[in-house]
Structures are given as C-alpha cells and as structure tokens.
Amino acid sequence: MHPSDARAHARGREATAWFVPGRIEVLGKHTDYAGGRSLIATSDVGITFHARRLSDPIVRITSRSVDDTVTLPLSTEQDVPRGHWAGYPAAVVSRLVANFGDWVPGAHVTVDATLPLASGMSSSSAMIVGLSRVLFDLGGIEEHPAYQAHIHRPEDLAMYLACVENGMSFGELAGHRGVGTFGGSEDHTAMLCAAENSLVQYRFCPAVHEATVPFPDDYSFVIAVSGVLAEKTGSAMELYNRAALSTTQIVEKWNKATGRKDVYLADAATAGGDSRDQLRSLTTSDTYLRGRLEQFMSESEEFVPKAAAALSAGRISEFGRIVDSSQRWAEEGLDNQVPETVHLQRSARSLGAIAASAFGAGFGGSVWAMVKTPDAPEFTEAWLAEYRRAFPIPAERASSIITRPGGPARRIED
C-alpha cells in the first residue's frame, strides 16, 4: 500500500453507522434523468447500516431483512446473479474500488430495515447511499484527492451515487458496472438533501435546489404499500428502462431535426420559440413517445412548480387537484401504473385525502395520501379495508406507514 493510502486508512473510522430514510416522491414521475423537476421528501422509516473495518479484502453484508449474507471481494469484478438483492452492494463495491482503489476498506456491514423493500420508496437507492457512506467513513475516502476534486456539497454526492447505480461516469470518476437501470439522482438527492417537515423542489442534470416548501403542521402522509413489488431488477427492468430510454429517443429525433446537441429532454422542451410544438410534431407517429413527451412537459414544467406554489400559499385544495392531474398523466402518458395503484389513489381521494398519488418507478409500489394528522389512523384502516375488498390477494402483502416529511441521511453516533 502506498504511504498516502496508509495515512488515509489511519484517518478512517474503525466502526461507523448510518441511517438512510426512504424517499417520498410527491411529484416528479420519471423526470429526473431527463433534466426535469421533482418535489420530494423523506420518511421516518429507512435502512440502518452498522459497519466495522476488516483486515480481509472483502465486504461482507448481512441483511436481516432478507436473512441473507453476501461476501464481495474488493474488486472491480463481482459475480452476483442477475436480479439478486446483492446486485446493489456489488455495484457499490466495484465502483468505489474502480474510483478510489486501495482506499476502499474491508468491512462487515449489518443492514436493518424498517423501510418496506420493493415498495417504491427506493430501498435500492438507500442501499447504494448507506453502503457507500459507511465505506467512505471506514476508509477515509472523503480525504481522497479524487473525492475532494468532484464532491463539494450533498447534491454532488447524490449525483455521484446515482452514477454508481446507473453505471455512468461522474466527471473523471469513471463509470463502471451499475445495476442495469437508467435512473437519475432524485432518490439519492432526497435521501441526502431532504429538509425536515418540508418538501424540497429540485431540477436535475445537474441537481439544483429550487425551493423548500414547508409542509402544513396539521397534515401527515399516509403511505399504502400495495403489495405489488416495485422492483427495478429482473422482468421489471425492461419496463422501467422503456420509460427512461423514451426520453433519449425523443431528444435524438429533436437533435436530428434541429441540428442541436441537447442531451436531456428538459433542454429541448425549454429551448424557447416553438420548441414544444416541434417536439409534438416529431412524436406524432409514435403513441407512446407522444404521451411520454406530454407527461414529462406537464409534470416538470407545470405540475411541480404549481403544486409547490399552492402548498406554500396554503391553497391545499388546489394542490390536490394538481396532484390528480399528475396521476392521470402517469396512467395515460407514462403508462407505469397497475390497477392496484390506480385503485389506491382513487379510493384515497374518495375517503377524504386532500391529495394522493402513486410514486416511484411504478409498475407496483406505493401510493401516498395527505390527510389531517389526527385522522390518519382511522383513514389508514378504512383505506386498507377498501383495498382488501378490491384486491384481496396483493392486499395480503400490503402495509402502511404514517409519517411526516423527515430529514436527510445521518450518521448514528454511539
């Protein structure tokens, strides 16, 4: 080991622990990776990581949630079956070794979750964030010159960790492996940049904070986990990536027609002049691309900022109507909803929720409802009872969470 590497390890901790909260996507359905906006928060449930340094060149991860242990070599090459939960830890270990070399320490990490897995609250990204954070601590990696050259604020770290997940490069920190999905940094930004008792509005690619929106003191989120797994691995990966790759297809058509060199759909949609009409014309012949375009432009440029403004001004009913429009576009344009999440959103509104929406990658997962805090327990019972009547089989796996918007990931001191 190089002497400077030895000094870095000496600066690292022998043991550390982090709590990473689950993400609540209030609005911003599949917008982040295309340079769009989101309105996001965190919950008071999440994943806790306890780690201690090992002298062996391995990272051993014990997940109590799935009652399994995996051992990964400190290597850029990992042998993990496709679709296995260890694909996310493997992506972290291989990428950190590729970017920071011998500064990545051997470690034993124990993972405990109060966050429902594959629920749409991004347990997968929480794994990326939490495992990276404990390895940074144990190895003193935040002192590494490459880290210091690229990561200066929580948003930078969120963007880097998104690249760990999607396999892309982050500046001179070269891309490697990833998990096979083409997602953005919304989840990681929520987990690292959330504001307690508030929603935060971000525009992405790069992540730029636009607003902090106080959440009404007398309201809470009730989250119904549908029991339809919102996985981004296995057979669901193709559906998830279709939503992501469609924005790239639209931009390719746009650049070919205009001679521009835009990278993200948001750049094309906000180019000025008649850019939106041109984009509509370019997607007329493809029903899915046209619906995806309209959903993106409505969600990013209209629903997110208008909803944030309405909530800030206390116009709660208006906020609810905007959220309803977002849900409709998810069903009709994004096409990432299943009957169970559609039903949960509709029934939440009929039971008196001021606003409700499915969220996350889609194709299953969860629905949030905004209700008066004192009414939350009774509302939750009625909501799940209605769901059990309509969908008895997935409802056997359903669960619920009552939460206020929480803060960012935090180190747990002994």
pLDDT at 5: 45
Structure tokens at 331: 């069903």
Q: Report CA 270 to chain centroid distance, whole Å.
A: 24
List Cα–Cα distances, 304 to 46, 64, 118, 179, 339, in angstroms: 25, 37, 25, 28, 24
Buried/exposed 212-238: b ≥16 CB within 10 Å, e otherwise: ebebeeebbbbbbbbbbbbbbbeebbe
Summarize pLDDT for 273-305 with one digit per residue, the tens.
Answer: 999 999 999 999 999 999 999 999 999 999 999
Mean pLDDT per 10-residue section of the chain, whose length is 414 residues? 44 94 97 97 97 97 92 93 86 97 98 84 93 98 97 98 95 88 89 98 97 98 90 58 89 97 96 96 96 97 98 98 98 94 98 96 91 98 98 95 97 83
Q: What is the pLDDT of residue 4?
A: 38
> Tell me, what's the pLDDT at 173?
97
Residues 6+ apart with CB under 8 A from 326: 27, 29, 298, 299, 303, 307, 357
Gap between the Cα atoms of 232 and 392, Å rounded: 24
Give yes or no for a contact between 50 and 110, defined as CB atoms under 8 angstroms apart: yes
Strands 410-411 and 15-27: antiparallel
Tens digit of pLDDT for each residue in 80-121?
A: 877 788 999 999 999 999 999 999 999 999 999 998 876 778
pLDDT of residue 236: 56
Q: Give me the pLDDT at residue 241, please.
A: 76
| Domains defined for the chain, CATH in brackets | 3-212 (3.30.230.10), 216-403 (3.30.70.890)
